[in-house]
């Protein structure tokens, strides 16, 4: 096909999605801000830093020039970290035509504004009237790249656009379901990262499988409370972008957020953990954003609040768990 697709963000997930779509004969341009990294990828034929051992599709184009990446594109898959989404899209805005299709593949809430990525995209590209969708669900980049069967959800309020993008993204091993509850899909993807930090902390403390199951289940309750308060549908949180992604991220060994939690529970401090990581653990910033968002909305988020206290108030993880367990007793 002649249709051009831009993928913004050359981390593991952006590279995986670019490879996936390039394998369907679209013209795909993968953009990364680091020109040296893009040149190394061009020379080696793989993303050695974020996705080592996975060959890049020979037809995949690589660029560190935003104009070259997005100009004339049929749609954009935005996979840059959430806290940088606005600045990247504002820089790219002059190069878009009208009504570009934007698929957000990053999961989180903007800390400075407490806005979801749909609002960020709308504000950054408002003059272009973007058609927005969000891709979420249980999907580790490494496993998708290896061709393991994966099912995800595409949240989009425009049914025709959703079905169009569903066909762009789906393959024999990557199954995309559409969901008109865009709000629920993107909030589920954001909140599950904070719950993965919590379950990682509990596992790092050696609290066992009972504690992990309890945190996942009560984490789902927090997800549903906040998501419903912000306009999401309750049934969305029982699907792929809710409990599906929650279970994977809270239990899977490839989860960056879970790994951060494990190290915190084992006694390490946050700053050295973050400094040692190549990829961004979105839950660290999202915990602060959701903590503030819960206060603003008047929604009770006890697990999120304790994770926030561990990350930003130097609270002892053991004390945080004790507080959760000794809260006022209530019905489920």
> How high is the pLDDT of residue 1?
53
Cα(208)–Cα(231) distance, rounded to whole angstroms?
35
> How high is the pLDDT of residue 279?
86
- The partner residues of 16 in beta bridges, in order of sequence, read none
- Shared domain check, 222 and 153: no
> How high is the pLDDT of residue 278?
86
Structural domain includes residue 331: no
Structural domain includes residue 310: yes
Cα(269)–Cα(286) distance, rounded to whole angstroms?
18
For residue 2, the Cα-to-chain-centroid distance in whole angstroms is 29
Inter-residue contact 117 to 110 (CB < 8 Å): yes
The last residue of one of the domains, among 161, 180, 199, is 180
- Shared domain check, 243 and 169: no
- Shared domain check, 129 and 252: no
Inter-residue contact 199 to 250 (CB < 8 Å): yes
Number of domains in the chain: 2
Per the confidence metrics, is the pTM higher than 0.85?
Answer: yes
User: Which tokens sit at 159?
Assistant: 């049914």
Mean pLDDT by 10 residues, the chain (332 residues): 90 98 95 97 97 96 98 97 97 96 96 96 96 98 97 98 98 98 97 97 96 97 97 97 98 96 96 92 95 96 98 96 93 92
Strand 4-8: give its sheet, edge to edge. Answer: 61-63, 27-31, 4-8, 75-78, 101-104, 131-136, 150-155, 174-179
Inter-residue contact 185 to 153 (CB < 8 Å): yes
192 carries an active-site annotation: yes
> How high is the pLDDT of residue 280?
85
Catalytic residue among 24, 107, 115, 192: 192
Structural domain includes residue 104: yes
Q: Dump the DSSP string for 262-309.
A: HHHHTT--HHHHHHT-SS--THHHHHHHHHHHHHHHT---HHHHHHHH
Q: Which domain range does residue 305 map to?
A: 184-325
- Shared domain check, 114 and 77: yes
> How high is the pLDDT of residue 25?
83
Structural domain includes residue 332: no
CATH code for position 30: 3.40.50.720
> How high is the pLDDT of residue 238?
97
CATH code for position 254: 1.10.1040.10
- Shared domain check, 188 and 120: no
- Shared domain check, 227 and 275: yes
The last residue of one of the domains, among 180, 209, 239, is 180
Inter-residue contact 77 to 14 (CB < 8 Å): yes
Cα(247)–Cα(240) distance, rounded to whole angstroms?
10
Inter-residue contact 121 to 145 (CB < 8 Å): no
Backbone angles phi, psi at 201, to 5 degrees: -60, -45
- Shared domain check, 312 and 191: yes
């Amino acid at each position: 096909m002649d249709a051009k697709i831009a993928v913004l963000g050359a981390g593991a997930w952006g590279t995986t999605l670019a490879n996936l779509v390039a394998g369907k004969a679209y013209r795909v341009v993968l953009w990364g801000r680091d020109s040296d990294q893009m040149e190394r990828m061009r020379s080696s034929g793989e993303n050695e830093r974020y996705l080592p051992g996975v060959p890049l599709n020979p037809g995949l184009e690589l660029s560190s020039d935003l104009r070259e990446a997005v100009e004339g594109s049929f749609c954009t898959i935005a996979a840059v970290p959430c806290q940088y989404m606005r600045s990247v899209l504002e820089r790219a805005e002059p190069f878009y035509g009208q009504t570009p299709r934007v698929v957000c593949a990053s999961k989180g809430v903007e800390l400075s504004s407490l806005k979801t990525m749909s609002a960020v995209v709308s504000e950054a590209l408002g003059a272009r009237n973007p058609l927005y969708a969000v891709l979420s669900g249980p999907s580790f980049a490494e496993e998708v790249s290896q061709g393991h069967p994966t099912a995800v959800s595409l949240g989009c309020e425009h049914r025709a656009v959703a079905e169009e993008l569903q066909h762009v993204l789906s393959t024999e091993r990557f199954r995309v379901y559409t969901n008109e509850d865009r709000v629920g899909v993107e909030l589920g993807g954001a909140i599950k990262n904070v719950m993965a930090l919590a379950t990682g902390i509990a596992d790092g403390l050696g609290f066992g499988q009972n504690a992990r199951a309890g945190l996942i289940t009560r984490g789902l309750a927090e997800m549903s409370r906040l998501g419903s308060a912000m306009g999401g549908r309750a049934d969305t949180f029982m699907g792929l972008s809710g409990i599906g992604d929650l279970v994977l991220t809270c239990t899977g060994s490839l989860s960056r957020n879970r790994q951060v939690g494990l190290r915190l529970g084992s006694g390490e401090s946050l700053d050295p953990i973050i400094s040692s990581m190549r990829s961004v653990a979105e839950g660290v910033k999202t915990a602060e954003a959701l903590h503030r968002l819960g206060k603003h909305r008047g929604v009770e988020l006890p697990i999120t609040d304790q994770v926030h206290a561990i990350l930003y108030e130097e609270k002892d993880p053991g004390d945080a768990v004790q507080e959760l367990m000794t809260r006022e007793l209530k019905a489920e």
